[in-house]
Copies of this chain bind each other. A is one copy, B any other.
Amino acid sequence: MIIGTGMIGGSIGLALKKQKLAAHIVGVSRQEASIKAAIEMGAIDEGSTDIRKVIGGADLVILATPVKVIIENIQDISKNLRRGCIVTDVGSVKSTIVETAQKCFPPHVLFVGSHPMAGIEKNGIANAREDLFKGAVCIMTPTDKTNRLARDKVKHFWTCLGMEVRMMDPDQHDEILAYISHLPHLVAFGLMRVIPDDFLPHASTGLKDTTRIAASSSKLWGDICFSNYRNILKALDEQVKSLSEIRKAIVDKDESALFVCFNQANAKRAELEKKTHG
């Protein structure tokens, strides 16, 4: 059962159907239109707007909504899940979700957190793609309380969708993501805001690439910011400090200090190219 038939939820449905991994998929959304579109695309077999009504029939639940709704859903459905039901999620922040799940779910519900890292600056079921996860990384965040069988089954699930699965502590996930994903989004949002409208027609690929993720959903990223605010504020402060060092070198006309800054960035960017695939 997929809760949230947007871009991510819809893509999971399409991928499962393509791989013939699920006989019958139920999709849940607050929006009738989203369910209808997901059925038409073949991402789900049937849908409902009432999560509590259908959740009792699920063997596997994928929570695929923005972080805040994932947390609300965990609280809502915790008493209604059948014994042995496996639950995972796709949230970009893990500590609060894992904590909520461990607090709310009874022992017979087997939860493990997941974060499939697939490009998501476009939202909605219309942007769902069966190959979205192929070759991308999924970080799973089991803890010492996580059922091993559930962990292995969910790992198998993401692997079948073509993902490389990495295991990590929820807190470690949130700290890493604050730097490699959340900060770049805030920087892109922040940058896009300061470009005067009448300068836009002269922009070339540099600005476009740098701000691609500034097209990401406000709702989704608002949730992420509030859920991971400690790590995000730390990263944001370091970004401002980094810009201030560059600013100082320019003001001081200190060529060697500026080169040190730029060379650090060059070297790290070369590492990034080497250490990531795709």
Contact = CB atoms under 8 A, between A and B. Distances in A.
A236 interface: yes
Majority secondary structure, A binding face? helix
A77 interface: no
A268 interface: yes
Contact of A218 (B118, B191, B263): B263
A200 B276 contact: yes
Instruction: Give chain A's interface residue range (CB within 8 Å of chain B).
Output: 35 or more
Contacts of A265: 188-190, 192-193, 211, 214
B259 A222 contact: yes
17 contacts: A166-B202, A180-B204, A188-B265, A190-B261, A191-B242, A192-B268, A192-B272, A194-B235, A200-B275, A203-B276, A208-B276, A210-B212, A210-B213, A216-B266, A218-B263, A225-B258, A232-B250
A126 interface: no
Can you list the 5 inter-chain pairs with the closest CB atoms, starting with the nearest?
A: A218-B262, A189-B265, A192-B265, A190-B242, A194-B238
